[in-house]
Chains A and B, each alone.
Chain A
């Protein structure tokens, strides 16, 4: 079998040389010349262009969502003082005389969460990296359904526009938190457009996830068996199943909430609900708790949608920069599959405070403790991969290395929240905010930055500036910890989340409320340090050092394609000969043996 593959690969090798010469003038120029500007860059069906569209839109939404938070941080640090710089531009119904109204604070809070999760991180991690990198890593010419791929981007785009427009409707944007708990969300202004936006985003995710799974199952290159897949592809594979199966219940919940708001039903409204001293004129008999079950049935798997692609990115970069195989590849794969499965049966650990009963709590505490095992296995395997390596400390690796302790803090602080007794004390305090932000911000978002620095050369043919990358890293690392670590202190002291004045009205917060000022300056500093990234991104597109196919001396398939790859990706059908992380193979001439290199060591 092996001999047969090798022989056919040699034929490929011979074939490739001819094609490669022809490629610059013939194949790619020709293919591109057929498409006009709109078909090539805007309504493109090429997974790489769609991936870049997703990534840039996602990065812009991340910046916007972070901007909302910087405004909120002013109100928390200096409650009731006029917002400097932009205060006068916000308008009378948001911030009269530059002083933020509580309603507007609630809008910012709800939309910050929604934008960061559904419009920023997921589109960048799955839509961006998944679309751009995954087909290249499995040696596919494109996604299985290019038209559906284009559609899923534009439906996502529509969802984003809907969310942005909702700020300008009467009464402002949604203000019931990103979790949209009824009965408040059923009657609060702004919620209808939020729900419409969510239906767009859910549809986009469903289309995308079907496309990803079919692509991974059907379009893997010759020789690329499941256990030879790069870990990033495994992470995307499991993520797609989570999106496919967890989002529909939220779509159902969204439809029900829309019915409550538009058709006068009362799915989530109990009988005899009194609002502002009047009994609400609805049929009643609804169940507000049902929303929480439907919402968290999505939103807990969603947490793993946020974290798994990040783990995938970090694994690629750690293997590449330690110049060693990943420690325990099989354990990683089994853990990620188990994690995906378990993530469907832990959702009610978000609901210990709802009075759903001790039997339910006991069940969900147990599953929550079980799901922490594969997470720890993955993190430990990545940590052990560093052991004894001569590490290259480049831009992507700095972010990937920082991911490990940051995600560890985020994960370990989650354990007390997964057990009902401590959760009853910590629920709805800043401790919870600190916990999940450590997972998602210095965890996932750092991994996403690592991914941008790592695959930027593949997408543009140019490298990003190392000095600016290190400045970006160290500044962000210090600031982001100063934003989020004090949250644990505040939360343990009992400071509640979602307080318009940062909790200053309560005496028990007196000892910790000064941290709000530190966090404020840290968040604005974090904003300033992102300027290094923005400058680096645009400058490197034009002036970065040009690179060849494989600037990082990496082993996976995407590095066998030209940088940037043309339409159709590979000049000849790629063939895979070995596992994904064959670094420093004893006896080999160089310290990396790519998947696409035939046995005799001849470069094809």
Chain B
């Protein structure tokens, strides 16, 4: 038994199953983060005082550029596959993975700096929503890294058997990765600057 439209697109929808699935997943993710951003707005508008300048803007800005850069390398990883350059694909995908790891290392320094001063999520409502939003975003980064590790490791074997399907997988991973990037682009000004 074969499920149709795994590799080729269905003519009337113009999509493969996987791509539609990822888009739907992202729609639900928008609702998830949308609910949390709404929570932020309600908490902030209802607060008597809201702390400013608690976070290290430079570290946050560095992380913003790191994630934007990782989105670029992610596209390059997919584009290289489209141009049938498997070696370059692996290079760019590894680079994306490394950038994601650097992002997490920065995040670790930020977290540990706060925690060393006893400023955990219990400390204030601002820090509570900060840890929740960035923590959930961090989990999404880790999720993306697991998928990339799979595509670099055992998942790479698919390229020999079915290069088109492998390319689709990389593209779908990229869609997810751009979303994770986009969430951070909202998180950075909301938490660090405003």
List A residues at the B interface (Cβ < 8 Å). Answer: 31, 141-142, 144-146, 206, 209-211, 213-214, 217-219, 244-249, 251-253, 255-256, 259, 263-267, 282-287, 290, 294, 297, 567-568
C-alpha gap A230/B167 in the complex (Å): 36
Q: Which of B42-69 contact A (CB under 8 A)?
A: 42-43, 46-48
Q: Which of B1-47 contact A (CB under 8 A)?
A: 1-5, 10, 13, 15, 17, 20-21, 24-25, 27-29, 31-36, 39, 42-43, 46-47
Contact B39 A245 (CB under 8 A): no
- Which A residue's beta carbon lies closest to that of B36? A252
Assess whether B125 is interfacial by the CB under 8 Å rule.
yes
Across the interface, B121 reaches (CB within 8 A) one of A218, A259, A568, namely A259
Contacts of A249 in B (CB 8 A): 31-32, 34-35
Contact A244 B28 (CB under 8 A): yes
- Which B residue's beta carbon lies closest to that of A282? B122
Q: Which of B112-156 contact A (CB under 8 A)?
A: 120-125, 128-129, 131-132, 136
Contact B32 A251 (CB under 8 A): yes
SS class, residues of chain A in contact with chain B: helix
Contacts of A141 in B (CB 8 A): 1-4
Contacts of A265 in B (CB 8 A): 121-122, 125, 128, 131-132
Give the Cβ gap from B120 to chain A, nearest Cβ, in Å.
7
Contact A285 B35 (CB under 8 A): no
Contacts of B124 in A (CB 8 A): 283, 285
Contact B125 A214 (CB under 8 A): no
C-alpha gap A342/B37 in the complex (Å): 23
C-alpha gap A182/B114 in the complex (Å): 28
Contact B13 A217 (CB under 8 A): yes
Contact A267 B24 (CB under 8 A): no
C-alpha gap A36/B3 in the complex (Å): 22
Contact A214 B21 (CB under 8 A): yes
Contacts of B24 in A (CB 8 A): 209-210, 213-214, 244
Contact A567 B1 (CB under 8 A): yes
- Which B residue's beta carbon lies closest to that of A206? B28
Contacts of B125 in A (CB 8 A): 265-267, 283-286
- Which B residue's beta carbon lies closest to that of A267? B128
Contacts of B10 in A (CB 8 A): 217-218
Give the Cβ gap from A513 to chain B, nearest Cβ, in Å.
41
Across the interface, B35 reaches (CB within 8 A) one of A146, A252, A567, namely A252
Give the size category of B's interface with A.
35 or more
Contact A219 B46 (CB under 8 A): no
Contact B21 A144 (CB under 8 A): yes
Can you pick out 8 interface pairs between chain A and chain B where the beta carbons lie within 8 Å of each other? A210-B21, A210-B24, A213-B20, A218-B20, A259-B121, A259-B128, A265-B132, A267-B128
C-alpha gap A172/B15 in the complex (Å): 49
C-alpha gap A141/B5 in the complex (Å): 12
C-alpha gap A141/B4 in the complex (Å): 9
- Per-residue CB contact flags for chain B residues 176-192 toward chain A (1 = under 8 Å, else 0) read 00000000000000000
Contact A255 B132 (CB under 8 A): yes
Contact A259 B132 (CB under 8 A): yes
List B residues at the A interface (Cβ < 8 Å). Answer: 1-5, 10, 13, 15, 17, 20-21, 24-25, 27-29, 31-36, 39, 42-43, 46-48, 120-125, 128-129, 131-132, 136
Top 5 nearest A-B pairs by Cβ distance? A264-B122, A265-B128, A249-B35, A248-B32, A252-B35
Contact A145 B21 (CB under 8 A): yes
C-alpha gap A283/B123 in the complex (Å): 6
Kindly list 5 other residue pairs between chains A and B, CB separation below 8 angstroms, not including A290-B39, A290-B43, A568-B1. A214-B21, A251-B32, A259-B121, A265-B132, A267-B129
C-alpha gap A282/B128 in the complex (Å): 12
Contacts of B2 in A (CB 8 A): 141
C-alpha gap A266/B4 in the complex (Å): 49
Contacts of B1 in A (CB 8 A): 31, 141-142, 567-568
C-alpha gap A560/B188 in the complex (Å): 56
C-alpha gap A253/B42 in the complex (Å): 13
Contacts of B122 in A (CB 8 A): 263-266, 282-283
C-alpha gap A213/B24 in the complex (Å): 8
- Which B residue's beta carbon lies closest to that of A212? B24
Contacts of A248 in B (CB 8 A): 28-29, 31-32, 34-35
Contacts of B129 in A (CB 8 A): 267
Contacts of A146 in B (CB 8 A): 3
Contact A214 B43 (CB under 8 A): no
- Which B residue's beta carbon lies closest to that of A246? B31
By CB atoms of chain A within 10 A, which of B29, B34, B39 has the most?
Answer: B39
Contact B35 A287 (CB under 8 A): no
C-alpha gap A246/B39 in the complex (Å): 16
C-alpha gap A146/B28 in the complex (Å): 20
- Which B residue's beta carbon lies closest to that of A217? B13
C-alpha gap A206/B30 in the complex (Å): 13
Give the Cβ gap from B8 to chain A, nearest Cβ, in Å.
11
- Which B residue's beta carbon lies closest to that of A269? B125
C-alpha gap A248/B38 in the complex (Å): 13
Contact B43 A255 (CB under 8 A): no
Contacts of A246 in B (CB 8 A): 31
Contacts of A285 in B (CB 8 A): 43, 46-48, 124-125
